Amino acid sequence: MPHPTTAPFPHQPRRSLLCAAAALLCLAAGPLAAQEAFPSKPIRFIVPYAAGGTTDLVARTVGARMAQTLGQPVIIENRAGAGGNIGMDAVAKSAPDGYTVGMGAISTNALNPHIYKKMPFDPRKDFTAIGQLGNSTIVLEVGAGVPVKNVDELLAHARRNPGLPYATAGAGTSMHLAGVLFAQVSKTDWVHVPYKGSAPLITDLIGGQVPVAFDNLPASLPHIQSGKLRALAVAGAQRSPALPDVPTLAEAGLKDYAVEPWFGVYGPAGMPAAAVQRLSKALEDALAEPGVKDKLLAAGFTPRSSTAAEFEALTKREYERLGKVARSANMGTE
């Protein structure tokens, strides 16, 4: 009979197997738990234009809903300048961990590289596409004190006074593109006055410092509705539901004219797939929320979601298309 203290413990092999299995389960669950933990802190959402503009309005509306889904604050940070390049450069140079994203646009990620001599980033290599937000409407507008009531009167005024200034929210923006094409198609002579965002542009337009502007409708709409600004036409292919009585520029006589800016969310290159999927789904859910959708539509912005892959493909197509437009229009800037 073996001594009791030296007898083998009958359950020891079973317990060892159970411990080993538990350890393997913990190791296997580790990566999954890490993925599920995202996000574990606030997310910085960079808007590359001044507060009060279209991108700012859309980012704050959508970001607030995304925060509810993600369970973390989405903090809006305005970093204006250089046609959106300063803010998007900050996105490109951020850590690719999913905690910094930016509000990119047709201008920052498809047009600017073809008109700025020195770009701080390459939109084809330095970003991760997360998802599209939708399309804005560009409006051709004048201050209430400008004595023109429609596009024909504006063009007649421009032909009598060549070199008239028109304002936009920045060089290289989609509004700048709209102004360049307007001058080309109408065969009139204008001088571009770029601002750092819609808010300062609107202030000067109301104050009479500049007579004419191309601006994204969401920022200008309240001032049009109050009578401080007068909308002459919209630049898209269709009238805006927010301004159903305002014609398109094509309807006003500029045949085949149409400029429709799109917006979306990007992160820095190299983001983890799990973070991209989480953010993309939260963005899609936010745009599907009736309260968010109604607020954006009322402001003149048309929500349109996409997958990350679809948005990446759109960005690449537009990059190629607008390169040809910018070169033909000689839109180069410093």
Instruction: Give the integer Cα–Cα distance in Å for 159 and 293.
Output: 41
Whether residues 130 and 143 share a domain: the answer is: no
Whether residues 128 and 265 share a domain: the answer is: yes
Determine the length of the chain: 334
Q: What is the mean pLDDT of residues 53-61?
A: 86
Is the Cβ–Cβ distance between 59 and 219 less than 8 Å? no
Instruction: Give the integer Cα–Cα distance in Å for 302 and 259.
Output: 14
What pLDDT sits at residue 280? 98
Q: Is the pLDDT of residue 26 over 60?
A: no
Q: Is the pLDDT of residue 210 over 90?
A: yes
Residue 243 falls inside a structural domain: no
Q: What is the mean pLDDT of residues 6-24?
A: 50
The string of pLDDT tens digits covering residues 80-89 is: 888 889 999 9
Greater pLDDT, 37 or 310: 310
Percentage of the chain modeled with pLDDT above 70: 88
What pLDDT sits at residue 13? 53
pTM of model > 0.85: no
The string of pLDDT tens digits covering residues 87-117 is: 999 999 999 999 999 999 998 999 989 988 8
Domain boundary among 188, 219, 234: 234
Whether residues 64 and 88 share a domain: the answer is: yes
Greater pLDDT, 283 or 53: 283
- CATH number reported for the structural domain that contains residue 196 in this entry: 3.40.190.10
Domain boundary among 191, 216, 234: 234
Confidence bin at 1 (pLDDT 50/70/90): very low
How many Cβ atoms from other residues are within 10 Å of residue 286's Cβ? 26
Is the Cβ–Cβ distance between 140 and 151 less than 8 Å? yes
Confidence bin at 2 (pLDDT 50/70/90): very low
The string of pLDDT tens digits covering residues 221-277 is: 999 999 999 999 999 988 998 899 999 999 999 998 988 899 999 999 999 999 999
What pLDDT sits at residue 56? 87
Confidence bin at 12 (pLDDT 50/70/90): low
Residue 84 falls inside a structural domain: yes
Residue 180 falls inside a structural domain: yes
Greater pLDDT, 32 or 193: 193
Residue 18 falls inside a structural domain: no
What pLDDT sits at residue 188? 95
Whether residues 79 and 109 share a domain: the answer is: yes
Q: Which amino acid is present at 183?
A: A
Q: What is the mean pLDDT of residues 280-292?
A: 97
Whether residues 124 and 143 share a domain: the answer is: no
Residue 37 falls inside a structural domain: no
CA-nearest of 199, 202, 179, 200 to 191 is: 179
Residue 11 falls inside a structural domain: no
Whether residues 116 and 151 share a domain: the answer is: no
Q: Is the pLDDT of residue 24 over 90?
A: no
In the chain, the N- to C-terminal Cα span, in Å, equals 96
Q: Is 127 helix (H, G, I), strand (E, B) or coil?
A: strand
Q: Which class for 247: exposed (0-12), middle (13-18), buried (19 or more C-beta within 10 A)?
A: middle
Whether residues 199 and 284 share a domain: the answer is: no
Query: In the predicted model, what is the mean pLDDT of the chain?
Result: 88
Split into its structural domains, the chain has a count of 2
What pLDDT sits at residue 321? 87
- CATH number reported for the structural domain that contains residue 67 in this entry: 3.40.190.150
- Please, which residues have CB within 8 angstroms of residue 119's CB and are 6 or more apart in sequence? 85, 112, 113
Whether residues 142 and 211 share a domain: the answer is: yes
Residue 58 falls inside a structural domain: yes
What pLDDT sits at residue 198? 87
Q: By mean pLDDT, which of 28-32, 164-168, 182-186, 248-252 is the weakest? A: 28-32
Residue 147 falls inside a structural domain: yes
Whether residues 145 and 229 share a domain: the answer is: yes
Domain limits for position 89: 43-135+261-329
Whether residues 299 and 281 share a domain: the answer is: yes
Averaging pLDDT over each range in 199-203, 228-232, 327-331, which range is the top one? 228-232
Q: What is the mean pLDDT of residues 3-11?
A: 47
Whether residues 271 and 322 share a domain: the answer is: yes
Whether residues 169 and 315 share a domain: the answer is: no
What pLDDT sits at residue 196? 82
